[in-house]
Amino acid sequence: MEPVVSIVGRPNVGKSTLFNRLIGYRKAITEDTPGVTRDRNYGSFEYNGTFFQLIDTGGFEPSRDEGYVPLVKKQIHISITESSLVIFLLDGKDGLLPEDREIAHNLRKYGKPVLYVINKIDSRKREQDATEFYALGVDTFYTISALHGLGIDVLLDAIYHMTVGNKEAQRLQHTKEISDQRQTIRIALVGRPNTGKSSITNSILGSERMIVSHIPGTTRDAIDSSILYKDREIILIDTAGLRKKNKISEAVEVYSVARAITTIERADVVNIIIDAEEGISHQDEAIAHLIARHGKGICVVINKWDLVEKKITISTYRDMALKRLPHVDYAPILFTSAKTGKNIEKIIATDTDIYQGLTKRIGTPQLNNLLEQVVRNLAPPRIQGKELKLLYIYQSRVFPPTFTLFSNHPRLIPEHYKRYLVNSLRKVYGFEGVPIRLIFRKK
């Protein structure tokens, strides 16, 4: 589960500005008029290899009960309840107000971790004036200017350590133990309705254990089936088809979408099933992105190949698929037909290979030898007149394989060089169908 962080505070303290600063683009409306943001606004950002869900709430006005204010208070209550961490944003320009004291009092009732952040601190004088906020009985404050980006790095570090960092060592050890002992592989089949997910599952199982129909949307819930493959238990998860929101009319279909996303989270390896005749849609691209983002292994299965194999070559179709799914170009592409049984046996074989990649651990000496060679072949570019150096690398986790690199200027490493590093790891160690994550740290 991704940590959920809520931003609360009085109207016009800069919540939406901070929200936009953290997620990296202008999504929330930002104006100087109090009360502009009335509903919860959701976004996400990545820091230190972890994705965070961010919620921007309406202005917290505890003393008003007329108009839309009670609704805003209800939205804030919901946000705080579902949050891992709360950012209480204060206004360094206005100073400490009675409403701030009341908000602080209310927040303590939830028992949630709270970061007390003073915004609009863009000068040394304002930083000195901010000492009045210690009257809230808080030991640590974070001073920032959301508008100018000052203090954001320190705030991000605090967010990370309060939600993830304190548990990271125990979690990594636990993950290692699981990867060493785990025997069961969870394999999911997802995709749009009527692409043949249930038919493929039935072909793998060799029996009609699921209802197979040509009517889209027959499968409305996830169904787990167990098989034994090369002395290893495989759990097959067949899910309801993901639909576009404007095509969902029944409450049960909304539930099916939620279950499909939950299935991706449950699985180790996810097969995205594509109808060969219909081709890859924008929604398929979104599903693939979701699989990659959750760090799952991915295999692209082009089903119903018997309907198009006389019209187009596998090579041409594969090139088309890679153009539509460039962000998962590391995924194997299988061409199958559940009707004829073509290549169905390759799905489980490929998925188990992907699983091996998810659990693969590479020794630190080998990694640093590779890093030395990679840098020798292509050194990092100079950025802003600074020479970038990569000093050390080690594998910090599996599921998915994650590598931590130390650099003199980690934040300046350009994206194209990160891709070069990932491609170099793939060239030497494989990782077909496996997302690779890089974390850069200062040294």
Tell me the pLDDT tens digit for each residue of 368-387: 999 999 999 999 999 988 99
Q: Is the pLDDT of residue 280 over 60?
A: yes
Task: Give CA–CA dist 8/15, Å, rounded.
Answer: 7
pLDDT, residue 308, reads 96
* Beta sheet of 390-397, edge-to-edge order: 390-397, 402-407, 437-442
Task: Give CA–CA dist 113/381, Å, rounded.
Answer: 41
- Outline where DSSP puts E strands in 279-346: 297-303, 333-335
Q: Which amino acid is at 397?
A: R
- Range list for CATH 3.40.50.300 in the chain: 4-170, 182-359
Higher pLDDT, 257 or 190: 190
Question: Where does the pLDDT of residue 437 fall: very low under 50, low under 70, confident under 90, or very high at 90 and above?
Answer: very high
User: To the nearest whole percent, how much of the chain has pLDDT over 90?
Assistant: 48
Task: Give CA–CA dist 267/433, Å, rounded.
Answer: 14
Question: Where does the pLDDT of residue 358 fall: very low under 50, low under 70, confident under 90, or very high at 90 and above?
Answer: very high
Among 66-75, 294-303, 376-385, the minimum mean pLDDT is found in 66-75
pLDDT digits (tens, 9 = 90+) for 209-227: 444 444 444 444 445 778 8
State residue 238 phi and psi, 5-degree precision: -100, 125
Among 206-220, 286-300, 343-357, the minimum mean pLDDT is found in 206-220
Half-sphere exposure of 236 (CA within 13 A, CB side): 21
> Taking residues 395-420, what's their average pLDDT?
94
Q: What is the CATH number that goes with domain 4-170?
A: 3.40.50.300
Mean pLDDT of the chain: 81
Q: Is the pLDDT of residue 125 over 80?
A: no
Going by C-alpha positions, the residue among 307, 317, 267 that lies closest to residue 433 is 267
Stated pTM of the model: 0.57
What DSSP line would sit under 175-207, residue for residue? HHHHHHH---EEEEEE-STTSSHHHHHHHHHTS
CA 134 to chain centre: 36
The domain 364-442 belongs to what CATH superfamily? K homology (KH) domain (3.30.300.20)
Number of H helices, E strands in the chain: 13, 15
Which one is the CATH code of 182-359: 2.70.40.10, 1.10.10.60, 3.40.50.300, 3.20.20.80?
3.40.50.300
Burial code (b: 16+ CB inside 10 Å, e: under 16) for 47-60 equals bbbbebbbbbbbbb
pLDDT, residue 75, reads 55
Task: Give CA–CA dist 290/385, Å, rounded.
Answer: 37
- By three-state DSSP, how is residue 27 classified? coil
- Range list for CATH 3.30.300.20 in the chain: 364-442
Chain position carrying tokens 């090139």: 319
Question: Where does the pLDDT of residue 73 fall: very low under 50, low under 70, confident under 90, or very high at 90 and above?
Answer: low
pLDDT, residue 214, reads 44
